[in-house]
Structure formats: C-alpha cells, structure tokens
Chains A and B, each alone.
Chain A
C-alpha cells in the first residue's frame, strides 16, 4: 500500500521541555520510531522557541541516523533517505493560553463559555458573570489585575434581552484591559452571545479591543454551541498570543498545520478515540503545577484544569485542600507530622527533586492520590448536563429525582482510564500507577487502565487535526495507530463490583477463560484486592455478582464480557466505594500492607 505520508515529525513545546517524536510508515502501519527532548528556549537568555525545537530534533537525528535538518530548516518532503513529509507542533510554553470568560448567568452562559475555553486548551483565570456577587468596580479591578491573553464574552439567548450582556461589555470597556504579552496590540475579545446585541457590542468594544463576533454559545437555553467559539480561540491563539511569543512566527512558518495549545490537542485526541471506539474515556495529566482531566461520557467532551493541584509547584496546596490526615491515610507507617509538612514544603520550593528513598516515594504517591481525587471531584462537578434547562418530567422521572445539571461522569460506564504526568508515567513499578489510578478515581465495574508513558498525546492530537485534504486521511490513521501501538502502556483491567457489601462478604464469583482454553475461577470478597498476571491479551470473563451487587449489568445480574490484561494484569478490587480506610491506625496499616503485597506494589524490605 503506498502512503502519501511516509514520515512525520511532531513536537510539543512545554513550559520546561520540548519533546520531538518521529513517526514512520513501517511495513503495514505507522509506528513511533524515535524521540528526543531538549529544554524549551522561550525565556531568556535564548528567547527563541525554535532553538529548543531544533535541539530536540537534533537528538532524534542522532538516534535515528536520519538527516532531518538542513541548518535550521526542516527538510521536506521525505526522499527516502532524508527529510520528513510533514511537521506539526503543539505549545504550552510561556504559561499556555490564559483566558478570562464572561457570561450573564454564571451557571449557564458563564459555564458554557468556560467549557468552550477549557475545551480549546486554555487556562480559565476567572469567570465573570452578572450574578457572581461582585460589584462592577470589583470586576473591573479583577480584569485589570489578571491581564489575560484573550476574553470570551457570552450571554443571553438569541433575540432575548440585551441589557445584561451589554452591562458586561461596558464593564470590559471601562476596565480597558491590556494583553499579557506585548504592549503594542489590542486585546482579542470574542463575542459569542445574543445576536441581537452584536451592533451595540461593536460600538462598545470595537475601539478598545480586537473584537471578533461568532455564533452564540447558547442560542437557546437547551442548546450549547461551542464549536464556533473554540475554533475562534484556536485562530486567535495562533494570530495573537503565539505571534507575540519569541520565535513562534518562525515556528509557525515551519509547520504544516496550525500550532495547537497542548491541552486542546490532547482533548481532541481523546474525543476522537472515544468516538471511534464508541467508549467512555477519562484521561488525566498530573503535572507539577496543575492537573488536567478530560472525559467523554455520552459522547460529550469535557475538560477541567485544577490550577493549583500538582506534584511540585502546588504540592502544598494539595496538602492544604485535602488535609494532612487524608494524605497520611495512604501511608502504611507512622511519621512525624511536622517533619512531614516541612518535607512537602521543601518539595514545593525545590520542585525538580526526585524521591530517592522508598519512604519518600510512598509519601509522594500518597499525595498524588489526593491530588487526583480532588481534581476528579472538580471535574465531576463541572462535567454536567446543561443547567437551567426545562425538561418535561413524567411520574417516573419524579421518582428518580434527576434534574438538569447532573454530572455526566458515571464510573460504571467508564471503559478506559488513561493517566499521564511524571508521578503516573515514571513510577518505578507500573503496579504503583495502577494503584494510584484505582484509589483516586475509584472505577466501578470493568475498566481498562493505561498510562501514556512519554506524554505523546499532544503530538498525536495535532496530527489527528490536520485538515489539508490530501494529508488528512493518512495523518489521522497515523495518530490512531501510534496511539494504539506505541503511546499507551496498557496496565490491565480493574474489576470492581459495587454495592453495600458487609465486611469480608462475597461480592462476586468470577470465571476467566484464557486464549489457551485454560480456566480460572475466583471470588471477590469485600475489602480485598487481588491481582492475576496476564499480558495484553483477550480473556473471556463471566461475573456473577452477589445479591444487591452490580458489575455493570445491574444488581445481581451476571455479566459476560471480554477483558484484556496488561503489564500489571487483571486486578480484582473488592473495596467498597468510596474506599474507606479504618480510623484505627493498626487496622489501616494492615489493610494498606495487604493491598500493596497483593499487587506487588513496592519492594519487600523494612517498610513492606
């Protein structure tokens, strides 16, 4: 089969590291062949992002023995011995894309605007709303202080009242906000509200900002229309924000597709995979300062950024928000509390250090569980059906107590949970990553677990978004094939029956039929955690839950399915949801040690 694209170079310019990957057509599929990285060079003394890109590409050249660069130019196309066919990039350097959004009602147009901005990959610094409880002058002071990269203004349904959204526009005008980067251009403002107010908006904001008007984000209450705003944010990110950052004009001239904000690219990849496989997905990227969560449930994509939950710069905030006791409940040994807070404080002020001792590693992973748990709570609260929507209710609905604004996140429906970020991707044992994901997200029923080992999702995301007709098909095939074969490390599958089971009682009978015809039967008991080694291969499973217990087919209903192992294997989790740990220190420590031993989580020795 002949391919239009034989080789692809993709980079992701992060705030500290620029990563390059080379994807090549090998025999019958696309594979990731080489990768390289180098420090990002946006800040002084270099102040040119392309230097870091060239260094990372040079590493790929060295490893692959293939010539890609001619001086500081990327050679295209691939002539069989040198060059690549296409080059794409994402960027989160220089703090990423920072936005402020405004809507009339905080939980309605405000939330839709926030969803559009987050989905496009931005950090939302603040949500202004007519009903946010702040006085006009307080809002004005806030806008001035924040200096966002751009503002998205929404509010009102099409043809409805314009007063409230105009009031917000007047507040923006009075604040006369200035962009974060560059003194000599006007702040981009996107208006995505009531179409009847467009002329007045032009009059009020046209002179003081670089105004763009797109279709209403909530044309009617029952409908959310995020696409036009999201696309406009991407365009402006390229035209304004990126164009101001040092070296980006040059970088933009090299790429075959627009540069995307890193989280925007990851989100679009996850959205695409969920759609293609028709599955529900949660993806998490836990970084030093922030934790991003992406989800697709019922075909709806959501992204949240927990701005101050991370493993280094904001590690003390995890401690402050979860409380020391919640962190310590995951630690199976006694430790001096004051000394521990000093140690965590020292990680914050020296963020690049790594855990050398096992004790330090266990503590770091305990904090990660809490950071992930808190971020996921925030995500569940944000990923909801539209609020403020009137729906017809029947008698049976009334008994269900359901209403608008319910969380879309349903753990029983979740098919795939993907983790990335240092603490998950670089854990010394993959069992530790699996345990952190299970303890924090508490999956229910059957859930596949994976980690993105080198955080390749951004590059694959931008690749999947190439829209040049002649390249589109190959690029998206490459993105999906590399995602399947090289990006994810399949950890295995977690099976968690759910229901109010009594301590140590039987929750389910399990029968596993392996490819070689062999059969294994086991029981899941409440409070237990067990693991069976099995590689990433199909296993037929039949689960018979006890009365009142559900594994996905309904309470007490048998479930037959096909599951996959992985580098960790099959995990059977009998712990009730939410996972409860004993208040008595001895019992708690004994449970923690049992669970760790069951999955071979830590090396045996003094602590385990």
Chain B
C-alpha cells in the first residue's frame, strides 16, 4: 500500500514517556537508577562558573601594565572579599597612595602583564535540575543527569510560550469548538492547567496571567496578539525562556481553529489529574514542540506498551489539513496517487485524496499532518 512520511503531532492515551534531565555543565547526579521521582525531586546539581569582573588596575593606578605586578597585594587563585585591596601604589614617602579594591567577593583568576588587568571571578552559581514529571529513573548519565521514564498520556501542541509548569488539568470549554473567554477565568483557577476549545483571546490570556493560572491548552490564538504578550514581534518560533506565569500551548495554529477531537477528548478524560507542561517550541532542524504530560498511576513500565514508530500516511489514515484552503479540517485518506498533480497555483506536487465531510478532495501531501492516536 502506498504511504508517505508526514510528521504528525502525538496524541497518545498511554505511552512510555522518556525525558532527559541534563545539567548545562557537568556536575553531580543525586538519584540512582530505579528511584521513584516526584516532579519536584532534584535529580542533579552543579555550579556554573561565577560572573567575571575585569579590573583595569594599570589604568586606575595610572601605572604601566608591566608595573602592575609590583603593586599587587593578592596572588592568582587567592580568595578575596568585597573591599579587599587588590593593588596599591607605594605613593610618595608612604603618602598619596592610590589603590584598587575588589568590587565583589570572589577569587583572583588571572593577572595580565600585557594589559594590566586583574580578573576576579565571583562565587559559583548553583544550578539544580528537577524531575519535571513523576516517574522513575530509567538511566543515569554520569555527571550529567538522568533519563526519566514514566507511564503517561502525552500530547504535543504546535506552538507554545513559556517553559515548564505543573498543575491539575481543568476542563473549561465544553466542546472543542468553543472559545475560552476571559469571563470563564476566575481566581480559584490559580495554579491549574486550563483546557479551552477553539480560541483564546488576548484579554482571556491576560486574565489568566493575572490570576496566575499555570497553563492554558487551546486550539488557536492570534499571531498578532503575541506581540502584546511578548513585547516584540515573534520572528522565528523559538520560545520557552519567556518569564510568564502562564504557559500557553496552542494545539492547532494561529486563528480560531477547533481543537482536534482526539486531543480534546483525551484532555477531557484526564480532567482533574496532575500534569506537567512545557511551552518551549523550536521550529528548526531538531524540532521541539510544546508538550502536555499526564502521568498515569500504576501500570507496568515495561517497553511493550511503548508507542510504535510513526508509519506515515496510508490509505485510511486520519489526517488534518494544515494550510488553507480547508485549513484545520480533518479527513480520511482515500487514496495516494503516485503521479504529480497540478494545483490551482500550478505547483506540481504529490497529493493525497482526502474525504472531508463526505467530499473527496485532492490536497498536497506536504499540507497534511497525521493525527496520531492510540
């Protein structure tokens, strides 16, 4: 049977979710293989090198760089406190001395004879990595972190903002076609992950921010409203570092688009359960999509229930159209003709014949997305 490889977003009822939790620099791993983890468990920690202060000693003391060594009161590697004298001129008969004090607590890292500069490094900055999702340590990566494994429902969005958040899922919209409005968002929703239908307005998102909702999952959001949220025009879809109380995960795209049935019903099934979400998105080679992970209690963690590799679009596959016309519509593939077809734009492309609402239409395969369900 003809098939075509088309990337799709995952909507999985139950899967073995694996995630690397890695330090930015080498450090210490605090858990062992097989340990149970809460989302808050610290799995690894390290110290990032501290900030550097470069002191132009020769300039401040008005001496030649090569004479700096003679004026020094400290040695390379020495610990110093803020206000300690780093270098001092001998002055005239012990008077009119000028000196350089350390602006910070730290260590003297280097002293340069050629430029007369002294480098003071501040105390290391501690960094910790938590587990993010409850589960077990599947594998320890020595000095770097772990791979976490969890039995979970797993949903990918198409685009998101803000990083990792946690909270209980709360279904607000009653259907995938319903807009999530500002009026529906109330102060008691603080710390929850709200599930909407087709659309979230800028006002509604601002309301969610103000009551400190942990996250919102919704079908569509306006591209031009992002500027008001982020403070700049989003030129490339690389997000995740925004300092926002409320993460936003859009499942379908920009505009008002009903959330796919599969996504909505899976979120509905898990209403009230704790979940971990991450809005971080990177659409480049090595794509990262935003995600919703809902750990499932119990169940064995063997690999048998792990989701299969996607097989690509085949006859009978459920697909979604991802470009206008027919944007957002879902249909079933009725055939995959091998020959190239001419579109209205005169572009010659490989197409799929899709049955949408009882009608068969030809759509470029590149404009289709697999709706993966299990």
Contact = CB atoms under 8 A, between A and B. Distances in A.
Interface string A355-376: 1111011000000000000000
Interface string A109-124: 0000000000000000
Interface string B44-78: 00000101111000000000010000000000000
Interface in A159-188: 162-163, 166-167, 170-171, 173-176, 183
A170 B186 CA distance: 55
A354 B110 contact: no
A341 B115 contact: no
Interface string B264-281: 000000000000000001
Given A167-B117, A317-B235, A357 B344 contact: yes
Categorize the interface residue count of chain A.
Answer: 35 or more
Contacts of A344: 223
A348 B287 CA distance: 12
Contacts of A346: 223, 253-255, 322-323, 327
Chain A interface mostly:
helix
A167 B325 contact: no
Interface stretch (A213-221, A308-316, A325-333, A484-492): A308-316
B209 to A, nearest CB: 21
Contacts of B114: 162-163, 166, 197, 200, 204
Contact of B158 (A94, A343, A347, A350): A350
B51 A137 contact: yes
A133 interface: no
B117 A350 contact: no
Given A313-B283, A319-B233, A357-B324, A163 B346 contact: no
B224 A341 contact: yes
B285 to A, nearest CB: 5
Contacts of B7: 352
B127 interface: no
B110 A170 contact: yes
Interface stretch (B29-37, B293-301, B311-319, B362-370): B362-370
Contact of B348 (A95, A360, A428): A428
A581 B329 CA distance: 38
Nearest to B143: A183
A358 B344 contact: yes
Interface string B238-282: 000000000000000111000000000000000000000000010
A351 interface: yes
A603 interface: yes
Interface in B86-124: 109-110, 112, 114-115, 117, 119, 121
B177 to A, nearest CB: 18
A461 B54 CA distance: 45
Contacts of A175: 52
A395 interface: no
A137 B52 contact: yes
B303 interface: no
A163 B255 contact: no
A300 to B, nearest CB: 31
Given A136-B52, A162-B114, A356-B367, A349 B235 contact: no
Contact of B224 (A137, A338, A355): A338
Contacts of B121: 174
A353 interface: yes
Nearest to B366: A354
B119 A174 contact: yes
Which 3 pairs, one residue from A and one from B, show the smallest C-beta to C-beta distance? A317-B235, A345-B223, A320-B233
20 contacts: A166-B112, A170-B54, A200-B114, A316-B234, A316-B237, A321-B235, A338-B224, A342-B224, A342-B255, A346-B253, A346-B322, A346-B327, A348-B283, A349-B237, A353-B367, A354-B364, A355-B345, A356-B343, A361-B345, A428-B345
Given A166-B114, A170-B112, 4 more contacts: A43-B285, A94-B285, A308-B235, A316-B236
Interface of A: 15-16, 43, 94-95, 136-137, 140-141, 162-163, 166-167, 170-171, 173-176, 183, 197, 200, 204, 289, 308, 313-314, 316-317, 319-321, 338-339, 341-358, 360-361, 426, 428-429, 603
